[in-house]
Amino acid sequence: MIEWFDDLALGTRFKSASKLVTREEIKRFASEFDPQPYHLDEAAAEQTPLKGLAASGWHTAAIAMRLAVDTRPFGAHPLLGLGVDELRWLAPVRPGDTIHIEGEVIELTPSKTKPQGIAKVKWTAINQRGEPVYTFTPIAVVPRRPGATTSV
Amino acid sequence: MIEWFDDLALGTRFKSASKLVTREEIKRFASEFDPQPYHLDEAAAEQTPLKGLAASGWHTAAIAMRLAVDTRPFGAHPLLGLGVDELRWLAPVRPGDTIHIEGEVIELTPSKTKPQGIAKVKWTAINQRGEPVYTFTPIAVVPRRPGATTSV
């Protein structure tokens, strides 16, 4: 059971549940945050490089965050991010796609001054055909197990 | 008037309109995409490192995207991003804050094979006290002016 920074190791892996992305959700998110033809209008979207309606990349990012939160990679500790490295959209997310995310711990840096560490988990969102559609590496602050820092 | 990749120069600057971020919006976004106590529950949020209710970082990111879309940095051409570099959350966005974004072109790379280029604009979101709260550098694909590539 992973709960503290000290429970994580390079290569520790996580896998989320799946989420169906609906046409209605794509248009609702886009109308509020990314009102461009790719995301709102089927006919106009056909004429774009995306060749059809697709979710806003920021919608995909938000869905991936929800999947990460529900995965609880740090047990009861929340996800608190300073930022994100290597955010890339790899393929369109279409209405009716089902995506999940898979993560791997790629960097662990204990703080020298606070009872916490920085954990970088590289997450990849994958659709129902096994295709990676999005990847991001949040820079998360995770508390150390009480006593862990004094025992070294 | 900026319309094509060829109209952009290093140092070209943009400034968006402002957006009021409400308590209701913060909780609505968080309940769908980032259901953590920081973003949903005032009393619980007081006990966290954020010391009070704050918008999800992904909500701030989505609001910044909307402000960027409305700023039309590439004229009639849409914002089409391959990804984002240097995404960092710098300070909490609180209920009642008003944010806008300011951008600067920091990198321009014409494609060698297609009539387009990669433009990197470093955007910073700033609150009503002039404090930077968020920064991100999208990697955008922008078409070249017809004829521009053959005239070089």
Tens-digit pLDDT profile for residues A69-125: 999 999 989 898 999 999 999 999 999 999 999 999 999 999 999 999 999 999 999
Q: What percent of chain A has pLDDT over 90?
A: 89
CA of B149 vs chain A CAs: smallest distance (Å): 20
- The complex's ipTM works out to 0.94
Exposed e or buried b for every residue in B111-147, given b needs 16+ CB within 10 A?
eeeebbbebbbbbbbbbeeeeebbbbbbbbbbbbeee
Give contacts of A38 with chain B, Cβ < 8 Å. Answer: 78, 80
Give contacts of B63 with chain A, Cβ < 8 Å. Answer: 33
Identity of the residue in A32, A37, A81 whose CB atom sits nearest the CB atom of B78: A37
Torsion of CA B100, A89, A75, A66, to 10 degrees: 60
Q: Which band of pLDDT confidence, cut at 50, 70 and 90, is reported for residue A151?
A: very low
Identity of the residue in A82, A84, A89 whose CB atom sits nearest the CB atom of B82: A89
Q: Which band of pLDDT confidence, cut at 50, 70 and 90, is reported for residue B147?
A: confident
Q: Give me the mean pLDDT over the A21-34 stretch.
A: 98
Whether residue B150 has pLDDT greater than 90: no
Whether residue B117 has pLDDT greater than 70: yes
Q: What is the pLDDT of residue A152?
A: 45
Q: Which residues contact residue B75 at a Cβ distance below 8 angstroms, ignoring those fewer than 6 apart?
A: B1, B2, B3, B4, B7
CA of A148 vs chain B CAs: smallest distance (Å): 21
- pTM (two decimals): 0.95
Q: What is the pLDDT of residue A81?
A: 92
